[in-house]
Structure 1
Amino acid sequence: MAFFKRELSPVERFESALREKQAARQRLAERLGIAETVVGEKRAAAERLAVAGADTARLERAEANLRAVDERAKTLRAALAEFDEQVASTERALAEANAQRDRDLVADGIEAMAAAIEKAIPGFDAGAAALVEAVTKGTTSIPEATRFSASVDAVRREVMSAADLICWELRSAAVRTRVGNANSALLAPPEPAQPPLPEIERQLIYTLNPLSWQEGPEVRRVPAFALVGLPKKLLPVALAHQHVDYMNARRVQTLMHVHGSGQFPADLNHDHPQLVDLDALAAEGEERAQADVA
């Protein structure tokens, strides 16, 4: 039975090559150390002969021996310097292979995200289409249901378009990441999200007059004869002054037949002559209650 060796990755190949070169350099460095020791011994022997006044033949032999071992040491030093360059080059190649492996892992994750989005989109499309069909295929037409259906269909189209765009952007980012040209902002850890504003408890109510109130930094303005979600903290004062009423009230049913549930006009300005400031009414009620207690 034939066995096949697993193909090594670039990182594994460079790690193996680096280990081999480091081992060879170590062996060469040991040989150079021995050669330099011999050079030192030969030089010392030649110096002793010269000091002792040895004859010319003996001095020449000693000098020849010294030159031979010195040349050998020079050759080993040159080979060691070349090995140092090879080790440094292999270390750089290993570092680049590690960086490429990390880039590939990030790019694979980005592509997997795009694939997951594409896989989830048909389910979202089918669910949104089922919601729309539940309204459009019915035998009874209700304005609120029709608006709900139109909103769902608009959201569906927007999400489908956004999904196509984000998948294209993700795959482009994956390509740039593989070649090392990714935007650093893309790979940076996401900044912590700002804490969301506290959820406002609302009551679905029908307006009898144009109203305004403050929600955080935004001022909301709604027209008369409109179905709105009013913050529950403002509901008592709005009911007390008969600026709103519940959906099941008889007069609301009549007004809805006459005016409908209302679409917010774009020209409802802050200086509208009939605009009622619910915050001001609530503040007046609190001051009156405090005065009564006093």
Structure 2
Amino acid sequence: MAFFRRELGPIERFEVALKDKLTARQKLAERLSVAESELAEKRAAAERLAVAGADNSRLDRAEASMRAVEDRAKSLRAELVEFDDQVASAERALADAKTQRDRDALADEIEAMAAAIERAAPGFEAGATTLVEAVTKSSLSIPEATRFSASVDAVRSEVRAAADLICWELRSAAVRTRAGNANLANPAPSLSEEPRSAESERQLMYTLHPLRWREDGKVRKVPAFALVGLPKALLPVALQHQHVDHLNARRVQTLMHLHGSAGNGEPQDDDPQLVDLDALLTEETQSAQADVA
């Protein structure tokens, strides 16, 4: 009956290799220690013969014996230096393998989170559909219920697009983590970072140009190619002039693959591409009033 050994993993292989290198180095160091002790003895013996005035033949033999031991010690020192380099290389390989193991474990957790979101999304979709149908399939037409149904339907579309986006971002982060170039300390702004109190007055959009507007007495600026909760009052004019687009738009998916969803920092006031949505809205309103007049 054949027996098979369990195949060692990368870390175990590096640990075994490092242990073998350390054992071999220890044996070499012991041989060098013996050689150096023997060399000291040969030198002392040659010195005694020379001081005692021994004949040339005895001195020649003593010097030849000393040189032989000295050459052997020199060779062992060179081998020891080479082993030190090999041990250092094995230690680095083991450290890299452990780091990769940790990165792989973290990437697995990120991918598991994306998979969990994908599994949960249909349940949310089904629940939202049931809420919408509770109103739309009724024979009654009540304005409050109709508005509720429209709001739920809009949220359902946003959540579907946001779920697709976050799953793509998570899987991209997992790939970067495995490769060792992830920057998890500064992740892209989370969808949950948008103020929840104003959620009903905002819609999650993707910017195509750097934007600026005033809100609650403060100036807000966002870069191009970023997710933003845009006030719905500014949404029509921003969409009309193609400064933003919906998350499920085909071009947005392409741009997110190219640029991500965090942008490149807050735009400067002198940026020639910066669009003032308030000014644009005022301009559109005045133009419409003039047309009516």
TM-score, normalised to structure 1, is 0.63
Match runs of 1:198-213 below 5 Å: none
Q: Percent identity?
A: 71
SS of corresponding position for 2:185: helix
Alignment of 1:167-182 (within 5 A): 167-182=167-182
Q: Distance in 2 between matches of 1:167 and 1:96?
A: 28
1:223-272 CA-partner distances (Å, limit 9, x unpaired): xxxxxxxxxxxxxxxxxxxxxxxxxxxxxxxxxxxxxxxxxxx99xxxxx
* Cα distance, 1:144–1:2 mapped onto 2, change above 3 Å: farther
Give the stretch that moved more between structures: 97-106 or 32-41: 97-106
2:117 aligned partner: 117
Corresponding position: 1:23 with 2:23: yes
The one-letter code matched in structure 1 to 2:129 is A
Distance 2:132 2:160 in 1: 15
1:1-294 equivalent positions in 2, closer than 5 A? 1-186=1-186
Q: Give per-residue Cα distances to partners, 1:33-65, cap 9 Å, x unaligned.
A: 010000000000000000000111111111111
What is the rounded CA distance, in whole Å, between the counterparts of 1:134 and 1:187 in structure 2? 39
Matching residue's letter, 1:157? S
The one-letter amino acid of 2:98's match is: N
Q: Secondary structure at the match of 1:133?
A: helix
CA distance in 1, matches of 2:76, 2:141: 96
Q: Distance in 2 between matches of 1:58 and 1:142?
A: 122
How big is each residue's C-alpha offset from its partner over 1:179-238, in whole Å with a ceiling of 9 and x where there is no partner?
Answer: 1111243579x9xx9xx99xxxxxxxxxxxxxxxxxxx79xxxxxxxxxxxxxxxxxxxx
- Structure 2 unaligned runs (5+)? 198-215, 218-280, 283-293
1:176, CA displacement in angstroms?
0.9
Rounded Cα–Cα distance in structure 1 between residues aligned with 2:117 and 2:82: 53
Give the superposition deviation at 1:4. 2.9
SS at match of 2:37: helix
Supply the distance in 2 between the matched residues of 1:133 and 1:56 (Cα, whole angstroms).
115
CA distance in 2, matches of 1:178, 1:125: 32
Which deviations, in whole Å up to 9, do the C-alpha atoms of 1:147-184 show, x marking residues without a partner?
A: 11111111000000000011111111111111111124
Shift of 1:93: 1.1
* The structure with more radius of gyration: 1
Give the CA deviation at 1:6: 2.4
2:72 and 2:135 map into 1 onto residues whose CA distance is: 95
Matching residue of 1:233: none
**Aligned equivalents of 2:139 and 2:62: distance in 1?**
118
Residue segments in structure 1 that go unaligned for 5+ positions in a row? 198-216, 219-265, 268-294
| TM-score (structure 2 length as normaliser) | 0.63
Given residue 94 of structure 1, which amino acid in structure 2 is its aligned partner?
L
Deviation string for 1:84-138 (max 9, x for gaps)?
Answer: 0000111111111111111111111111110000010111111111111111111
Amino acid at match of 1:116: A
Distance 1:7 1:138 in 2: 65
SS class of match (2:140): coil
Q: Structure 1 CA distance, aligned partners of 2:103 and 2:187?
A: 10
Aligned length: 198
- State the match for 1:243 in structure 2: none
Give SS of 1:5's match: coil
Amino acid at match of 2:180: G
Q: Distance in 2 between matches of 1:141 and 1:7?
A: 69
* Two-structure CA RMSD over aligned residues (Å): 2.5
Residue 132 to residue 24, structure 1, CA distance change in 2 (3 Å): same
